[in-house]
Amino acid sequence: MSRPYSLSALLVFVLLLSGGAGAETLTSGGAARVTEIIDGDTITLDDGRQVRLVGIQAPKLPLGRRDFKTWPLADEAKHALEKMISGRVVELRHGGEKIDRHGRTLAHLFLENGVWAQGEMLKAGMARVYTFPDNREMAASMYAIEHMARQDRRGIWDHPFYAVRTPEEASERLGTFQVVEGVVMDAVKVKGVVYLNFGADWRKDFTVMIPSGATRMFLKDGIDPLSFKGKKIRARGWLKERNGPMIEASHPEQLE
């Protein structure tokens, strides 16, 4: 059996991988016992809190949603999390916003032996990285683990439902969360908004749109989005229709 990931080991790995990354810091949110596993990224604690494992997205179950089709491997993801933490005491650690709009607690979960639940789910290929502008901590560590799982085709990364898409395939996946990889043909700024175009015709080809507020976030992190022209990048987010398929990048961690 492979060793579980600990936070300290992961940070060392990421620092070596990136040649120096900013320190990722989390604050404690207390500890409680897990009483219910709702799905692969949501649990209930014995103190009444419902916790969303921030930073990851596991395959989704309907959970009462009408006409919602279960995503492939959703039951397997729930079982994997259940096997890992059900009935165990976990420590909650926060790296950003602590409560989401549904009233759920947003946290990274750590077992008493230091095992990081998010890292284990990503390692097994039972989830993918899913960050928000108000919850960006640990993204580098999570991407490093996801990369290894994808390389080894573990879990979701061996299923076509979760395949990394080409820009040409994006139009077939509108309304879904996707990871799209391709070369940026052009990068332009219009009234503070940056558009990364992946085809010759911006009116119909796949585009990543970076709003002006997010552009400032990129620049603050030392990243000029216009420098992506000619480079291969991987973008993730919900695909919507706006002069062709588009992903809105609200923060730098959506782009690799």
pLDDT tens digits along 105-158: 999 999 999 999 999 999 999 999 999 999 999 999 999 999 999 999 999 999
Distance of CA 41 to the CA centre of its chain: 12
Answer whether residue 237 is part of any domain. yes
Residue 64 pLDDT = 81
Q: How far apart are CA 256 and CA 125, in angstroms?
A: 18
Of 204 and 11, which is predicted with more confidence? 204
Q: Of the candidates 8, 14, 227, 256, which has an alpha carbon nearest to the alpha carbon of residue 110?
A: 8
DSSP 41-91: TEEEETTS-EEEETEEEPPPP-TT-TTPPPPTTHHHHHHHHHHHHTT-EEE
- Both structure tokens of 47: 């103190």
Find the helix packing angle between 7-18 and 139-151, rounded to 10°. Answer: 80
If asked whether residues 52 and 84 sit together in one domain, one would say yes
Answer whether residue 238 is part of any domain. yes
Answer whether residue 108 is part of any domain. yes
Residue 239 pLDDT = 97
Residue 63 pLDDT = 87
CATH assignment at residue 20: 2.40.50.90
If asked whether residues 111 and 218 sit together in one domain, one would say no
If asked whether residues 216 and 243 sit together in one domain, one would say yes
Answer whether residue 2 is part of any domain. no
Confidence check: pLDDT of 5 > 70: no
Of 122, 157, 192, which residue is a domain's last? Answer: 157
If asked whether residues 17 and 113 sit together in one domain, one would say yes
Of 63 and 174, which is predicted with more confidence? 174
If asked whether residues 26 and 76 sit together in one domain, one would say yes
If asked whether residues 80 and 24 sit together in one domain, one would say yes
Q: At which residue do the structure tokens 């923060």 appear?
A: 251
Answer whether residue 1 is part of any domain. no
Answer whether residue 81 is part of any domain. yes
Confidence check: pLDDT of 250 > 90: yes
Residues 6+ apart with CB under 8 A from 101: none
Burial of 177 (0-12, 13-18, 19+ CB in 10 A): middle
> Domain span at residue 195?
164-254
Three-class secondary structure of residue 137 per DSSP: coil
CATH assignment at residue 207: 2.40.50.140
Confidence check: pLDDT of 21 > 80: no
Answer whether residue 250 is part of any domain. yes
Distance of CA 190 to CAs 193, 195, 209, 220, 248, Å? Answer: 5, 8, 11, 19, 15
Question: Would you give the DSSP letter of residue 191?
Answer: T
pLDDT tens digits along 31-58: 999 999 999 999 999 999 999 999 999 9
Roughly how many angstroms between the first and final C-alpha of the chain, as a whole number?
Answer: 30
Is the Cβ–Cβ distance between 237 and 254 less than 8 Å? yes
Confidence label for 24 from pLDDT (cuts 50, 70 and 90): low
Which residues is 177 bridged to in the sheet? 238
Instruction: Count the domains in the chain.
Output: 2
Task: Give the count of beta carbons closer than 10 Å to the beta carbon of residue 36.
Answer: 12
If asked whether residues 136 and 178 sit together in one domain, one would say no
If asked whether residues 40 and 122 sit together in one domain, one would say yes
If asked whether residues 185 and 124 sit together in one domain, one would say no
